Amino acid sequence: MTIAPLQQAALPTARAIRWAPLLGVSGLLLVVLLLARSADRPVDVVLALASAALASVVVAALHDPAAALLAAVPVSAMQRRVLRLTLVLLPVLALWWVSTVISDSSPGTGNPVPLLALAAAGVAVAVWSPPHLGVLVGAFVPVAWYALDTTVPGAGVLSDVAGWWHTAPGAVLAVALLVLVAGRRR
Amino acid sequence: MSAVASTLPISRPRRRTGAVVRALALAESRRMLRNPLLWAGAGLSVWMMWSVVPEPADEWPGASYEGMAVCVVPLLFAVSVVSAVSFHRERLEVAAEAPVRETQRTVARLVATLPLLLVTVAYAALLAWRQRDLGGLSLGMEPGRTTEALSTTAELAQPVVLTVLAVATGAALGRRLPLVSAVPLLFVMWFLVSVYWLFGDAAITPLSILQVQPVRLHAGSPYADPLDFPTHWLLEGPGEFSAQWSRVFVSGALAWWHAVWLLGLSTLWVAVAVPRGRGRRWLVAAGSFLAVVGVVAQYLVFP
């Protein structure tokens, strides 16, 4: 991996990333968590929702209007994606930690691995989808998966699969990373 | 380019403008109805609603009544995204010689969302039928209990009014942000709304988005004799979620005024989607008025 160009590109890339979605999502989540904490209500559902929302924000950060222009540069598309993901994951994980501290949640619900699993799944879909739609489709994956998990009723195969992102996040993360490695030249 | 367009004299005949607006509305309407996300959201909502059944007598009363009200959330999210996709097309500048200005195009896109309201009307009708097919739902506990509770007309109208809000929110975010940025925001908004118990307190529920009735009002201390309460009251006793006797309050008037509040919010969101000018100022004024009236009236409805 060419480190020096990525280091030079870090600050301009950080400026190019749209931070408004992260700020908007953060504001809404923190307000609701504070509301739940003050009302002494369970917050596990809100934290699960936060996982999906933040994972979608992470994938959405891959949106680069200059992607076609940058296709000719010697730094590969995957390296540029890794740079963007690194830049956005740092504040997202910091926000996740703040959320778990505020919510004073039950043990286990503060684990960031489900968030990472959803984000990795979304990035994998974005990488393998057609370029002009990839990031949008990938950003949909975490929210669609969460929506499916919360709406599919009862027990059954579909219900089990829909819950994998939080019942087996390590496996989901591993599979998504393998898919990304397979698509490293895309 | 927009500055150039705004200085051009308005010389086109009104009939051609109306025809263009109608044509754009029809085209956008077809595109929205062909979006698979709309039908996926509708399908999920119907599936959720169909899976709600009256709870056993020894379980928390009202779970099914409240659960059915929340099932509309996937449909609302889908409507918001479909609306955002349509208004996102407005982010591309058109030529100064375009047959209509952005304001007329915005009106056309809003008119194009009318079929989405019909989809929600059908959903609300299905919900009403489902409740009657189940023989009603349970609310309250003895001596103030019913097993034949049906949503009021005002409560059934809420999904339709929420669709107006969903359209307006999608329009605003789709017009002002890239779609990849709008999707997480819309998701958080609608699925946070579904955590309805956070906003169910009598002091907060007038300001909520998805208002789920009943509202619990203080009736008496945990040592009160429930037979002393008015016989027409539905009641909940002290338990896991409350240390007192509560009156289970369902009000059509509360729901109707909540609809006024939602229409005010919708108008404010549409103001974000339209171009700057007199139209936006009127929308902000009207939306603010409706929102304030809706909230104040809801607080006045509480006994």
Q: What is the value of ipTM here, to two decimals?
A: 0.80
All residues of chain B having their beta carbon less than 8 Å from the beta carbon of residue A29 are: 188, 192
Q: How many CB pairs under 8 A join A and B?
A: 91
Q: What is the pTM of this model?
A: 0.86
DSSP conformational letter for A39: T
Q: Which residues of B touch A (CB under 8 A)?
A: 44-45, 47-48, 51, 74, 77, 177-185, 187-189, 191-192, 194-195, 197-199, 201
- Of the two residues A101 and B96, the one the predictor is more confident about is A101
Q: With bands split at pLDDT 50, 70 and 90, how would you rate the model's confidence at B15?
A: low
| Closest residue to B184, CB basis, from A35, A139, A148 | A139
- State pLDDT tens for residues A84-103: 999 999 999 999 988 888 87
- Sequence-ordered strand ranges (E) for B225-267: 234-236, 245-249
Strand order in the sheet with B234-236: B215-220, B245-249, B234-236
Query: Is the distance from CB of A60 to CB of B180 less than 8 angstroms?
Result: yes
Task: Tell me how far apart the alpha carbons of residues B78 and B41 are, in angstroms, rounded to a whole number.
Answer: 5
Q: What are phi and psi of B55, to 5 degrees?
A: -75, 155
Asked whether residue B255 carries a pLDDT value surpassing 80, the answer given is yes
- Token pair listed for A97: 């930690």
The residue of chain B nearest to residue A37, with distances taken between CA atoms, is B198
Report the DSSP pairing between strands B144-149 and B215-220. Answer: unpaired
Residue B276 to residues A119, B103, B173, Cα–Cα distance (Å):
37, 9, 16
All residues of chain A having their beta carbon less than 8 Å from the beta carbon of residue B45 are: 151
Query: Is the distance from CB of A121 to CB of A57 less than 8 angstroms?
Result: no
Q: Is A22 helix (H, G, I), strand (E, B) or coil?
A: helix
- Of the two residues B8 and A89, the one the predictor is more confident about is A89
DSSP conformational letter for A57: H
Task: Tell me how far apart the alpha carbons of residues B302 and B232 are, in angstroms, rounded to a whole number.
Answer: 16
| Closest residue to A18, CB basis, from B47, B178, B183 | B178
- Token pair listed for B234: 């539905």
Residue showing tokens 């286990």: A108
Query: Is the distance from CB of A17 to CB of A88 less than 8 angstroms?
Result: yes
Asked whether residue A66 carries a pLDDT value surpassing 80, the answer given is no
Give every CB contact of residue A18 below 8 A, 6+ residues apart in sequence.
A60, A61, A63, B177, B178, B181
Task: Tell me how far apart the alpha carbons of residues A184 and A79 are, in angstroms, rounded to a whole number.
Answer: 9
Residue showing tokens 């300001």: B207
Average pLDDT, chain A: 85
